Structure 1
Amino acid sequence: MISVVIPAYNERENIPILYEKLTKVLDGDYEIIFVDDGSKDGTFEVLKDIAQKDKQVKVIRFKRNYGQTAAMYAGFQHARGDVIITMDADLQNDPEDIPLLLKKLEEGYDLVSGWRKDRKDPFLSRKLPSVIANWIISKVTGVYLHDYGCTLKAYRSELLKELELYGDMHRFLPALTKRQGAKIAEIVVRHHPRLYGRSKYGIGRTVRVILDILLVKFLNEYINKPMYVFGFVGFVFLSVGLLALAYLLFVKLFLEESIGGRPLLILSALSILAGIQLISTGIIAELLVRIYYRSKEDKPYIIDQKINL
């Protein structure tokens, strides 16, 4: 069975066209899960009308706008398919590329990511920041893709069922699945100009992307051993502080020089305190990791209504 998960936020004009295109491409056992992320333009009413006529269409409606990550996470949690396809609701992703993703998945891959090689977006505000972000993400995570931002992807569902997504982590799903040993491929897909509505993204998200990259690096490499990060840095600070203090003691005791007014004394004290705090943070982080693995009940969204689910 195939599940198509589509987050939608204020896409009333695009939904009927997208639904029609999907039904022409999909056949057999499938479901289409639309997640209305708190739309205010009548998107839910359009989705509700479609779902009442087609039981293969499922609709989840959030009480408010939680963001694309929460919408995709809700879709993953309710999907019943062995394969999950994700795509945007703005018609810029092409449903006709879905068979290409599935064909590549059949070659033994666990995740197939789309690459919008001929992207129909403004260069300075969208394409250039995306190129830079994709290069940085690939270097930091070790998962080399041309287009992390392309929502059109195909996943084996077992990869997604164990993931917990928060913040804006949806764009890092290929890197997050690396922890599970996923085999990842990338294929060129089509990209169309937006016909209706306006983009929900801009250059202002760059800072958030950079911070998320650091978080993904931590989750991939150190989530099970946070002490290695905080403890190592803390040990460096503590060692530098103690060495500086030892030098000052040598100057005071053997050279009989005054050290009270030296900036090095203050720096050594601050370095020692920073080291102790970082090591303590590492210990606390280790305890939090153990709590994290024992309690996984909360979800980062509240559902208002469900249809056909």
Structure 2
Amino acid sequence: MMTRLSVVLPAKNEAAAVGATVARLRALLPEAEVVVVNDGSSDATAVVATEAGARVVSHPYSKGNGAAIKTGARAAGGDVIVFMDADGQHDPADIPRLLALIEAGHDLVVGARQKGSQASVGRGLANGFYNRLASWMTGHRVEDLTSGFRAVRADKFREFLYLLPNGFSYPTTSTMAFFRAGYSVAYVPIHAARRIGQSHIRLLRDGTRFLLIIFKIGTLFSPLKIFAPIALVLFSLASFWYGWTWVHTGRFTNMSALLYTGSVMVFLMGLISEQITALMYRGRD
């Protein structure tokens, strides 16, 4: 184990599971600092976590999973931080496997959930799509983009706190930020158990959020890889429509002009977004 290790658990109304999770961490990693971020819970989460041996940092009201992660990262005193769920999904026994790759020189190690670990078929399909999209964007195989079980070098993770959203998509944002910055990312296969208690994710409420993740993947790494294909499709449609109308009516239509204009605008938006992304990371340096 690293000389200084912190384990951060964001928790909202997890009184049923957080005590057992903290107890296992204290037994397996007695030298590690365990920080539970109580995100405005209405139950006894803070009390149970404290009694189990964790240091509890509480939000006065619920700010979101990502906000809890940022609070935990700021409060943690370790050189390496392990983030994991407090609901019993992640096995503390897997932590040494993540730390072994950190010690081998990686900056971020993600616990990649294997088949049968997804909460639902729909979510598994969505995560598979995100993984393939992120792999295409980065040019590296991304095995689990949205896993919240990960070990990071604390100083490098804190560089990107300003990028992290307050909601649930912090794993996506942090992974793509590490790739963009040229840091080393690795994966360790894990099995996630069924959570204890009710999930805070709702399909209808969070459907738009998952859709926005797709665009966030692009804007955090290389926006032009998202905008350029869209511009090409619009340009191709414009050319096809122009050819069809010229053959049948002998004229250039307003629809062709609209599609050509749209393709140019989308491409220029991609170029501008690419420059903004470059400046964002240059500011970090």
TM bucket (normalised to shorter chain) is 0.7 to 0.9
How many residue pairs get aligned? The number is: 274
Give the equivalent residue in structure 2 for 1:7: 10
SS of 1:89's equivalent in the other structure is: coil
Q: Kindly provide the CA deviation profile for residues 245-266 of structure 1, in whole angstroms up to 9, marking residues without a partner as x.
A: xx99xxxxxxxxx99xx6x342
Give the equivalent residue in structure 2 for 1:302: none
8 A contact 1:25–1:96 mirrored in 2: yes
Instruction: Note closer, same or farther for the CA distance 1:116–1:282 as it changes in structure 2 (3 Å cut).
Output: closer
Q: How does 1:297-308 map to 2 (within 5 A)?
A: none
CA distance in 2 between counterparts of 1:159 and 1:139 reads 24
Residue identity opposite 2:192 in structure 1: H
State whether structure 2 residue 28 is matched by structure 1 residue 25.
yes
Give the equivalent residue in structure 2 for 1:44: 46
Give the equivalent residue in structure 2 for 1:304: none
Q: How does 1:222-233 map to 2 (within 5 A)?
A: 222=223, 233=231
1:282 Cα deviation from its structure 2 partner: 6.6
Give the equivalent residue in structure 2 for 1:270: 258
1:14 Cα deviation from its structure 2 partner: 0.9
CA distance in 1 between counterparts of 2:282 and 2:129 reads 38
Instruction: Note closer, same or farther for the CA distance 1:201–1:112 as it changes in structure 2 (3 Å cut).
Output: same
8 A contact 2:106–2:186 mirrored in 1: yes
1:88 Cα deviation from its structure 2 partner: 0.4
Instruction: Note closer, same or farther for the CA distance 1:271–1:127 as it changes in structure 2 (3 Å cut).
Output: closer
Give the equivalent residue in structure 1 for 2:215: 214
SS of 1:32's equivalent in the other structure is: strand
State whether structure 2 residue 55 is matched by structure 1 residue 75.
no
Q: How does 1:146-157 map to 2 (within 5 A)?
A: 146-157=143-154
Q: How does 1:1-309 map to 2 (within 5 A)?
A: 1-28=4-31, 30-47=32-49, 49-50=50-51, 54=53, 57-66=55-64, 68-117=65-114, 119-121=116-118, 123-163=120-160, 164-166=163-165, 167-172=167-172, 173-194=174-195, 196-201=196-201, 203-204=203-204, 205=206, 208-222=209-223, 233=231, 264-271=252-259, 274=262
CA distance in 2 between counterparts of 1:289 and 1:140 reads 14
Q: Normalised by the size of structure 2, how large is the TM-score?
A: 0.75
8 A contact 2:46–2:56 mirrored in 1: no
SS of 2:104's equivalent in the other structure is: coil
Identical residues among aligned pairs (%): 29
Q: Which has the higher contact order (CA 8 A, sep 6+)?
A: 1
Structure 2 unmatched ranges of 5 or more: none
CA distance in 1 between counterparts of 2:156 and 2:11 reads 23
8 A contact 1:119–1:192 mirrored in 2: no
Instruction: Note closer, same or farther for the CA distance 1:22–1:176 as it changes in structure 2 (3 Å cut).
Output: same
Q: Normalised by the size of structure 1, how large is the TM-score?
A: 0.70
1:281 Cα deviation from its structure 2 partner: 5.2
Larger radius of gyration: 1
Residue identity opposite 1:216 in structure 2: I
CA distance in 2 between counterparts of 1:217 and 1:128 reads 19
Residue identity opposite 1:35 in structure 2: V
Instruction: Note closer, same or farther for the CA distance 1:199–1:293 as it changes in structure 2 (3 Å cut).
Output: same
SS of 2:209's equivalent in the other structure is: helix
Q: Kindly provide the CA deviation profile for residues 51-78 of structure 1, in whole angstroms up to 9, marking residues without a partner as x.
A: xx95x61413252242x22221222233
Structure 1 unmatched ranges of 5 or more: 249-257, 297-309
